Amino acid sequence: MTLTSTTGAAVASRPGTDRRYVGRRRRAAPSSLQQWWVLSLRLIKPIFRNGEIVSAILSPIVFTIGFYLPLKFVMNFQGVDYAQFLMPIIALQALSFTALSAAMKAAMDRVDGMSDRLKTMPIRAGTPLASRMSANLFRLFVSLCVALVCGHVIGFRFHLGWLNSIGFCLFALLVGFALTMGGDAIGTLSKTPAATTQALTLPQLILGMLSTGFVPITGFPEWIRPFVRNQPISVIATAMRDMASDGVDWPTLWPALAWAFGALSVFAPISIWANGRRG
C-alpha cells in the first residue's frame, strides 16, 4: 500500500505524467499494436506445431494431381492446355480451404470462451479480429505459394511478365481475404465448429465444381451454362487465367473485381459486427 502510494506520488509529481495511468486503480494503457502481434502469434505458431501446415501443403497437392493426371487426356482431347487452364481453380481451392480453417478458428475461439475472455480484458475492440485476419492472411500466403508450386510442377507458366503475375497473386489474395472474412463471420456467429465446416463445404463444392475452373463452358449441358458462366468462381477463374495467359481486358476484369470487392464489402461488416457484439 505504502509502496503504491509512494511510487504513485513520485510518478505523479513528475511533470507531464497523467495520474489516470498510475497507481493501483490505474487505467489500462494498452498498446494495440503489441496486442495484435501477440494475438497473431498465438494463432500462427500452432500452425507449425499441430500439423495444420502439413494439411495446408498437402491438400493443394492432392487436389492438383487428383484433377490434373486423370483429366489431362480428356481435356487435351478438347484442345485445352489443362495445366494452364486448371491453375486458377487450384489457387482458389487452396484459398477456400483457408477460409474453412478461418471459420474453424473463429468458431473454436468462441466455443472455448476465448472471445468472451478477450472481451473482458483491456483490449481494443478490433484487435482479436485483426489478429485472426492476419493469421489467416499468413495461411493464405502459404496456400498460394504451395498452389503456385503445384501449378509450376504440372506445367503452368506466367506468360505475361511481372505486372500480370503480381496482379494474379494479388487478386488471388484479395479473393482469399474476402473468403476468410466470410469464414470468420460465419465461424463467429455459429455455435458448433463441426456444423460450420459442414455448412461451408456444400457451397464450396457446388460453386467450385459447377464453374469453368475445371471444365470449359462447352463441357456443360446446355441448360446449366448461363449459371456456370456467370457465377462468381467462373468469372474470377477466367480473369485470373487471362492474367496468366492471354492478357486480361477490362470487360473480363471488372466483374471479377466487382465480385471480390462486393464479397469483401458484405462479409467485412458482418464479421466486424459479429465480433463486436456482446453475449
Partner 1 sequence: MSPRHTASRTLTKPAKNLRADPGATEPASAFAVHDDAVPASLTSQAEREALEFPELTHAWPETSLRALPRQSLLHAHRLLFGWLRDPLTTVQVLLYPGLMLVMFKVVLGNSIGAATGQSAIYGQVAMMALIASMVGSMVGAISLQLEKRSGLLSRFWVLPVHRASSLAGRLIAEAVRIIVTTAVILIVGVLLGFRFQNGFWPAVGMFFIPLLFGLAFATMVTAAAVVGGQTKLIEMISLVTSLLMFFNTGFVPLMAYPQWLQTFVEYQPMSCAVEAMRSFALGTPLGNNLWYTLAWAVGLILLFTYPAIRGFRKAANP
Q: Which residues bind partner 1 (CB under 8 A)?
A: 51, 55, 58, 62, 65-67, 69-75, 77-78, 194-195, 198, 202, 205-206, 209-210, 214-215, 219-221, 224
Q: Which is nearer to partner 1, 216 or 276 (CB)?
A: 216
**Least CB distance from residue 213 to partner 1, whole Å?**
10
Q: Which is nearer to partner 1, 35 or 212 (CB)?
A: 212
CB-based contact 131:172 (threshold 8 Å): no
**Least CB distance from residue 249 to partner 1, whole Å?**
27
Report which of 43, 191, 178 is spatially closest to residue 118, judged by C-alpha positions: 43
**Least CB distance from residue 205 to partner 1, whole Å?**
7
Q: Which is nearer to partner 1, 38 or 65 (CB)?
A: 65
Q: What is the DSSP string of 220-275?
A: S-GGGHHHHHHSHHHHHHHHHHHHHTT---HHHHHHHHHHHHHHHHHHHHHHHHHH
How far is the C-alpha of 265 from the C-alpha of 260, rounded, in Å? 9
Neighbour-count burial of 127, counting CB atoms closer than 10 A to its CB (0-12 exposed, 13-18 middle, 19+ buried): buried
**Least CB distance from residue 66 to partner 1, whole Å?**
3
Q: Which is nearer to partner 1, 195 or 258 (CB)?
A: 195
Give the amino acid at 223: W
